[in-house]
């Protein structure tokens, strides 16, 4: 810390040394939730099970991301955090289908092209990944630098490649 001459260097050092391991753990939580939602959507034919699983997985993921970054909350705090995450999603326009959601469908696996359920699983997994990235941005004590901001596309790719085969690093 003594070798840093300016505030930006000190913030970069804090991001690399303190927040990078937390970001990796939070990304793993997002990948796990996206994978779970995609698998249940693809394999369970009941629409209500899809909705219930997605809701439960997203709420659990948001709570775990908050815990990773040092937040501990009860029922009211969890409600406020969930509201803040979804407000952030709406404010950034992430709810709209964009490049990150279309990429897994257009460049996805053969299974997604053959089966409507697997395609729905990819979309639901991608939406869960969007929620997870928004939760990371809301819960993280410092904003992401442009170089270190998590890529929804990469998280989706890692999560869903872990679902169908070998996981990419």
Residue 95 in 3-state DSSP?
coil
Q: What is the mean pLDDT of residues 66-75?
A: 82
Residue pLDDT, tens place only, 39-54? 888 888 777 888 888 8
Between 77 and 106, the higher pLDDT residue: 77
pLDDT, residue 1, reads: 57
Mean pLDDT of the chain: 76
Residue holding tokens 């395609």? 119
Q: What is the residue extent of each domain of the chain?
A: 7-164
User: Each residue of 92-147: pLDDT tens digit?
Assistant: 554 444 444 545 544 555 554 556 777 778 888 888 898 898 888 888 888 887 77
Provide the pLDDT for residue 153: 86
pLDDT of residue 65: 92
Confirm if 160 and 35 have CB atoms less than 8 A apart. Answer: yes
Q: What is the pTM of this model?
A: 0.74
Number of Cβ atoms within 10 Å of the Cβ of 40: 20
The pLDDT confidence band at residue 91, using thresholds 50, 70 and 90, is low
Which helix H or strand E contains 21, and what residues bound it?
helix 20-43
Dihedral sign for Cα 69, 102, 84, 14, please.
positive
| Token pair 């908050």 in the structure block, residue | 66
Share of the chain above pLDDT 90, in %: 11
Q: What was the pLDDT predicted at 4?
A: 64
Instruction: Measure the CA angle with vertex 116, ends 128 and 163; round to 5°.
Output: 50
Q: Is the pLDDT of residue 31 over 90?
A: yes
The reported pLDDT for the residue numbered 6 is 74
């Amino acid at each position: 810390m003594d070798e840093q001459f300016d505030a930006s260097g000190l913030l970069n050092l804090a991001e690399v040394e303190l927040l990078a391991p937390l970001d990796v753990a939070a990304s793993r939580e997002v990948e796990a939730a996206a994978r779970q939602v995609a698998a249940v959507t693809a394999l369970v034919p009941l629409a209500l099970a899809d909705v219930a699983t997605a809701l439960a997985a997203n709420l659990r993921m948001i709570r775990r991301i908050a815990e990773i970054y040092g937040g501990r909350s009860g029922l009211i705090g969890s409600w406020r955090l969930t509201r803040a995450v979804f407000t952030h999603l709406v404010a950034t326009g992430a709810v709209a289908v964009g490049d990150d959601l279309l990429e897994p469908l257009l460049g996805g696996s053969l299974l997604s092209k053959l089966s409507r359920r697997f395609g729905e699983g990819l979309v639901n997994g991608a939406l869960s990944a969007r929620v997870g990235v928004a939760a990371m941005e809301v819960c993280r004590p410092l904003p992401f630098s442009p170089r270190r901001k998590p890529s929804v596309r990469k998280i989706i790719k890692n999560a869903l490649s872990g679902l169908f085969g070998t996981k990419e690093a």
